[in-house]
Amino acid sequence: YDMYIRNFGKINTKQAYVQWNEDNLDRGIQTDEIETQEKWTQHPGETALVSGGPKSSYDVTTITPKIDSQRLANFLRSACQVIEVLFEEDQVATQPRRNLRSRPSSLS
């Protein structure tokens, strides 16, 4: 800068200060802060709660529903019997009339 003043400035002038501010490391930004919300999902749902609000630190096992294994097994057994009957009825409807012998159930 002294060379600039020497070549283009007035005679007998000298620059005393520079407005450089190189020690100022702060940078201003002109953008608005974006508001965000954290959401979560769990698919396939492993619990009764498969989506929710803010992520929190509570234990997921505290909201896991109790499963009655014996009741579930009884339901599945009954449902399988119903499905087997429906399959047999469908086979009877599609087979020729001479093969109408009922077969023993394969489920026990």
Task: Supply φ then ψ for residue 94, to 5 degrees.
Answer: -95, -15
Highest mean pLDDT among 35-39, 55-59, 86-90: 86-90
Q: In this predicted model, what pLDDT tens digit does every residue of 40-52 receive, in sequence order?
A: 666 655 666 666 6
Mean pLDDT of 15-41: 70
Mean pLDDT of 27-52: 69
For residue 101, what pLDDT band results from cuts at 50, 70 and 90?
low
Average confidence score pLDDT of the chain: 72
CA dihedral 43, 48, 51, 52 (to 10 degrees): -160
For residue 81, what pLDDT band results from cuts at 50, 70 and 90?
very high
